[in-house]
Amino acid sequence: MKIKSLLAKPFAGYIYKQIKKGMETAVADQQHTFDHLIKAASKTEFGREHSFDTIKSYEDFAKQVPIRDYEAFKSYIEKVKEGKHNILWKGQPIYFAKTSGTTSGVKYIPISKESIHNHINGARNALLCYMAETGNTKFADGRLIFLSGSPELTRVGGVPTGRLSGIVNHHIPKYLRANQLPSYETNCIEEWEEKLDKIVEETINENMTMISGIPPWMQMYFDRLEEKSGKKIGELFPNFSVMVQGGVNFEPYKAKLFESIGRKIDTIELFPASEGFFAFQDSQTEEGLLLNTNSGIFFEFVPAGEIFNDNPTRLSLKDVKVGENYALIISNNAGLWAYNIGDTVKFVSTSPYRLIVTGRTKHYISAFGEHVIGEEVEAALLKAADEEHVRITEFTVAPLISTDKGKSYHEWFIEFENTPADITAFAKKIDDNLRLKNVYYEDLIGGNILQQLKISPVKKNGFIDYMKSQGKLGGQNKVPRLSNDRKIADELMAYTLS
């Protein structure tokens, strides 16, 4: 056994015990986090405007601090970007995480010297839990790849600014630096396909043991490796044993990724965002991701159907229920307060608090009152694909609205790895599955308001070409599962087979 894997064992065991203890104190830890956040920010501009010095309970906070999205925070962020201090949090942030928004353009999310530890330790703890549970520490001695954004940073208002994955890249511990690929120079390449070719070149002959990234971009990496080597990934990298992924639901990509690898390996799912590292997979045997309840983030949960109401129900962790769909709201030690991050989650357990990510608050279809969400379309498609042994590369769904009664429908744009023998029958299977998942959709189909969904097959690499045309290939960009309009659908028509 080599030195890194040898030293990892006791450290993993120690951290794993701490996390196990935290499972028992999650609600108390959230209360402690809440009290600390309010006290620490009471003298900031935001704290004074919202009378933080009078807040004695979560109920006070919910009355005095409304839920906001980025647009509503923008005026405060602009002051921070101008170099002003003590606006949302003590002093100035140490970074801005720059991220693309669908409605707000470029967002600048503050990261403080207190909050950076949340981003770094979340992924670390996921790996250490895996080591402690499985006993697999050998991968720490091999080559580790992190498919990330460029680590090159610019300055905005004197604050270093870049993609979150690029910022975190600067904080990879020294003991892992020697194992890390790709090289710093390659990670700095902005053009994704050029970068991908360099990553393949640098890694194809190495002892890769862990690969991490967003599933669609890992698939592109695997495809390039197969093209160049003529081998399955598991054969090319015989010691490859752990795949770490996050950013999108893993299930739609799972079958094709494992087919590319050619054998089963362990996977670890993460729930990171520019606003914080919210949850991680702590077990290979239990469903869901463990909520990060003691890491500088206070969580609130709003029933997903109420998130756009003027006065929605707001719940703290102790009041959540298993199986309910919630919009996730956070306050953190970088100065985000009752911030709607745009994700929806569902708890699969409250002892401990484990959840799954079910979609985006703005990614749904309700053109006819059906309010279909990401979790429902993914489940409907995956069930049909599993039964028919069909592999899906990528997909998205949009409404097609007709003025004729009974002529409107949901249009599914699907890029198949292997196309079903009877695409109409496959569409019916998906439709039947969705009708079982969503009672409103069932009523609309049964009432002849909507007709059965239709599939528009997308050409091989069609989604890649579409993302390239939008300047969104690579990085943290991903295709929305659902749209309530035809903007993406109309542009995708150029990449369909029909």
At 472, the pLDDT band (50, 70, 90 cuts) reads confident
CB-CB contact of 129 with 16 (8 Å): yes
Identify the H or E element spanning 350.
strand 339-350
Residue 301 pairs in a beta bridge with 315, 328
CB-CB contact of 334 with 114 (8 Å): yes
pLDDT per residue as tens digits for the range 177-186: 778 888 889 8
Regarding pTM above 0.85, the answer is no
What tokens were used for 411? 């249009």
**3-24 vs 116-134: helix crossing angle, rounded to 10:** 110
Percentage of the residues of the chain whose pLDDT score is greater than 90:
62
Q: Mean pLDDT across the stretch 138-159?
A: 86
What tokens were used for 485? 């309009």
How far apart CA 453 and CA 437 sit, in angstroms, is: 14
Instruction: Inform me whether the pLDDT recorded for 368 exceeds 50.
Output: yes
Average pLDDT, the chain: 89
pLDDT at 175: 66
| % helix, strand, coil for the chain, step of 5 | 40, 25, 35
Structural domains of the chain sorted by starting position, each given as residue range(s) with its CATH number in brackets: 1-171+179-360 (3.40.50.12780), 364-495 (3.30.300)
What residue spans of 329-411 are helical by DSSP H? Answer: 374-388
pLDDT per residue as tens digits for the range 260-275: 999 999 999 999 999 9
Percentage of the residues of the chain whose pLDDT score is greater than 70:
95
Which of 343, 342, 399 is CA-nearest to residue 369? 399
CB atoms within 10 A of CB 114: 18
Count of positions (residues) in the chain? 498
